[in-house]
């Protein structure tokens, strides 16, 4: 393993940072992630980072929506006749509780996580790896204030540790 002491985040971060717009649809973002072969992006509004969204967040949306529908359905079960009259498809679920169908039009703002694990460009790479492990995340956004200036993934740190990638000066 390569000694990474003395290497700063700025020497291995990817720039420019591709960012998501909070009003962009999750469906459009999913296409962008796939086209760029990346798995997550910071979400930026008016030049300020307000969250992060990843493929894992997107993959979990249908299950989350199903859970919400089940919860609402069970909570309203005592309303019997109201629910029965709302079931136009005779599938047992009122049509107005079809949350899963909303995923395609859902906005990034609704899918993102607001807590973003960040570091500064001068942060030692050792600390970046500790942050990833401590917070169980696969990417750290390198920021100057509220502005993302780079991103580091677990793969970037692995390439550095194994000598497959050298830090920039």
Residue 51 carries which DSSP code? E
**pLDDT reported for residue 63:** 58
Q: What is the pLDDT of residue 69?
A: 54
Q: What's the average pLDDT block by block, 10 residues per block, for the chain (169 residues)?
A: 93 96 93 93 96 87 58 56 50 50 77 95 98 96 96 96 91
Q: Quickly name the fold that domain 9-161 has.
A: CBS-domain (3.10.580)
Here the tokens at position 109 are: 């703002």
Each residue's pLDDT tens digit, 58-72: 877 755 555 555 555
Distance CA 4, CA 147 (A): 26
For the chain, the structural domain boundaries read: 9-161
Cis bond upstream, residue 103 (ω within 30): no
- Please state the pTM of the whole predicted model: 0.76
The pLDDT tens digits of the residues spanning 91-112 come to 555 554 455 456 667 899 988 9
């Amino acid at each position: 393993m390569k000694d990474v002491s003395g290497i700063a985040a700025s020497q291995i971060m990817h720039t420019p940072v591709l960012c998501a717009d909070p009003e962009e649809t999750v469906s459009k973002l999913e296409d962008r992630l796939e086209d760029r072969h990346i798995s997550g992006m910071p979400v930026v509004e008016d030049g300020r980072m307000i969250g992060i969204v990843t493929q894992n967040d997107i993959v979990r949306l249908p299950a989350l929506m199903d859970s919400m529908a089940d919860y609402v359905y069970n909570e309203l079960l005592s309303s019997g006749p109201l629910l029965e009259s709302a079931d136009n498809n005779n599938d047992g679920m009122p049509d107005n509780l079809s949350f899963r169908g909303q995923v395609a039009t859902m906005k990034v703002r609704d899918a993102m996580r607001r807590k973003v694990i960040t570091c500064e460009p001068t942060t030692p790479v050792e600390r970046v790896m500790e942050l990833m492990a401590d917070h169980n995340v696969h990417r750290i956004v390198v920021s100057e204030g509220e502005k993302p200036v780079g991103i580091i993934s677990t793969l970037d740190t692995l390439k550095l540790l194994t000598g497959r990638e050298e830090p920039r000066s």
